[in-house]
Structure 1
Amino acid sequence: MSLFTIDETRCKRDGLCAADCPAGCIVFEEGGLPEPHERKQAYCLDCGHCMAVCPADAIRLTRFADGSVPVDRSLNISLDQSEQFLKARRSVRAFRDEPVDRGLLGRVLSVTEYCPSGHNARPTRWVVAEGGAKVAEVAGAVAEWMRAESEAESRLAASLHLPGIVRLWDGGTDIICRNAPALAVAVGPKQGITPQPDGVIATAYLELALTAAGLGACWCGYLMAAAAYDAGVRELLGVAGDEAVYGALMLGRPARRYPALPPRPEPSVDWL
């Protein structure tokens, strides 16, 4: 099966697809049609750069079921708008007591398939806990891991102040998942090109997309710690033995609005 197909009636014979292919999978000679490289086509990354750069929508990777979608430039945001959006993002730890629409969350999760990924491997998959009861079940499993660490007086229990968190949990206060109505956990393989940074980037993408969707989120660090050390938590999440948790977000509708930007120092930069 050929790597891609070319619509000869649309192709402008400009060679942009070949020039932009990061793996050199496309051969182009001036005046001709792009062709798959005999050897290098086996190294196609499925990145779709060839389709994205083609102004005539003339090329389609055979392994893609759908064609490209035109970019709507009218939706582009300015630097001022993006700066405002990014600076206004808040870690949300208080949520409205209402469910998160699955369709909306699914739409937002699909955005993460477009985030940067080493070798375009895109190894991250998502485990989602829907509803307060399911999130509380996950938080309870984390609390039990914390309790075991606290009773063992481990170094980890001391460094993460786990005894105090367990006391709060026993008293009815959840600072593990903050009574969130939903939880999204990024899971990926232990081995691969760059699975750990891929999971972190995907989680960061998700947090920003959630903000744009009117939702709020906060990294669930206690869950990530528990998943790293406790087999029971991993089993509850459906994490296989050759997988790891690389990100976790508690999420929902924010209980409060944030009408102001707090100050931040200027970044530390060394200009070479």
Structure 2
Amino acid sequence: MPLFTIDETRCKRDGLCAADCPVGCIVFEEGGLPEPHEKKQDYCLDCGHCMAVCPADAIRLTRFDAGSVPVDRSLNISLDQGEQFLKARRSVRAFRDESVDRDLLGRVLAVTEYGPSGHNARPTRWVVAEGRARVADVAGAVARWMRAESEAESDLARALHLPGIVRVWDNGTDIICRDAPALAVAVGPEQGITPQADGVIATAYLELALAAAGLGACWCGYLMAAAAHAAGVRELLGVADGEAVHGALLLGRPARRYAAVPPRPAPTVDWL
């Protein structure tokens, strides 16, 4: 099967696809049609740069089930709009007692496939707990791990103040998963090209996509800590041997609306 197909009636013979391929999979000679590189085509990353850069929609990777979708420039946002969107994002820890629409969540999860990933490996998969009862099951498993660490008086228990969280849990308040109506967990391999960074980036993409969809989210650090140490938590989430949790978000409709952007210090920058 060829690496790609070319629509000769559309191709402008401009060589953009070859010039933009990050691993040199495409050979182009002026006036001719792009062709797969005899040896390098085996290293194709499936990134789709060749399809994205082609202004004529003339090239298609045969591994893809569908063709490219034109960029709608009318939807582009200005720097001012993007800056406000990013600055106004808040970590949401209080949620309405409303379920999250699965179709909407599926749509924003699909956006994470477009985040940067080492060698375009995209190893992250998602485990989603739907509904407060399911999320409470996860919180309970984390609380059991916290209790065991607290009773053992471990260094981790002291560092994360776990005894206090367990006391609050026993009094009926969940500050582990915040009574969230949904939970999305990024799972990926422990070993690979950049699996941890890929999972963190995918989770960050998801958080921003959720904000654009009118949903709030907060990183669930307690779950991530528990998943790194407790076999019971990993088993509940379906994390297999050789896998790890690289990100976790509590999510749902925000209970409160934020009306202002608080100040932040200027970044520390060393200009070389």
TM-score by length of 1: 1.00
Q: Distance in 1 between matches of 2:155 and 2:171?
A: 24
- Cross-structure match for 2:206: 206
Q: CA deviation at 1:261?
A: 0.4
Task: Tell me the secondary structure at the aligned position of residue 69 of structure 2.
Answer: coil
Tell me what 1:161 maps to: 161
Query: C-alpha distance in 1, partners of 2:213/2:182?
Result: 15
**1:36-185 paired onto structure 2 within 5 Å:** 36-185=36-185
1:208 to partner: Cα distance: 0.3
Q: Secondary structure at the match of 2:185?
A: strand
1:217 aligns with 2:217: yes
For 1:190 and 1:129, how far apart are their aligned partners in 2?
Answer: 22
Query: Which residue of structure 1 lines up, in the alignment, with residue 6 of structure 2?
Result: 6
Matched positions, count: 272
1:77-120 CA distance string (max 9 Å, x none) = 00000000000000000000000000000000000000000000
Deviation at 1:191, TM superposition (A): 1.1
Letter in 1 for 2:157: A
* 1:156-193 superposed Cα distances (whole Å, 9 cap, x missing partner): 00000000000111110000000000000000001110
CA RMSD, 1 decimal: 0.3
User: Partners in 2 of 1:113 and 1:43 — Cα distance?
Assistant: 20
> By how many angstroms is 1:40 displaced?
0.1
Instruction: Kindly state the Cα deviation for residue 266 of structure 1 after the two structures are TM-superposed.
Output: 0.6
* Distance across 1 between alignment mates of 2:260 and 2:64: 44
| SS of corresponding position for 1:158 | helix
What amino acid does structure 2 have at the position aligned with 1:14? Answer: D
Deviation at 1:139, TM superposition (A): 0.2
Q: CA deviation at 1:15?
A: 0.2
Residues in 2 aligned to 1:17 and 1:262: alpha-carbon distance in whole angstroms: 44
Distance 1:189 1:126 in 2: 12
Equivalent residue number for residue 190 of structure 1: 190
SS of residue matched to 2:93: coil
Report the residue type matching 1:218 in the other structure.
C
Q: Counterpart in 2 of 1:248?
A: 248
Looking at structure 1, the residues matched to 27 and 89 of structure 2 have their Cα atoms a distance apart, in angstroms, of 44
Aligned equivalents of 1:68, 1:249: Cα separation in 2: 30
Q: Which residue identity lines up with residue 222 of structure 2 in the other structure? A: Y
Runs of 4+ more than 2 Å apart: none
Q: Quick one: which amino acid aligns to residue 32 of structure 1?
A: G
In the aligned structure 2, how far is the partner of 1:2 from the partner of 1:185? 37
Query: 2-side partners of 1:190 and 1:196: how far apart?
Result: 7
* Residues 35-69 of structure 1, C-alpha deviations (whole Å, 9 max, x = no match): 00000000000000000000000000000010000
Mapped to 1, the partners of 2:259 and 2:252 lie a distance apart of 18
Aligned residue number for residue 34 of structure 1: 34
Return the TM-score normalized by structure 2: 1.00
Between the aligned residues of both structures, percent identity stands at 88
Residue 22 of structure 1 is matched in structure 2 by 22
Q: Which runs of 5+ in 2 are unaligned?
A: none
In 2, the alpha carbon distance for the partners of 1:53 and 1:180 equals 41
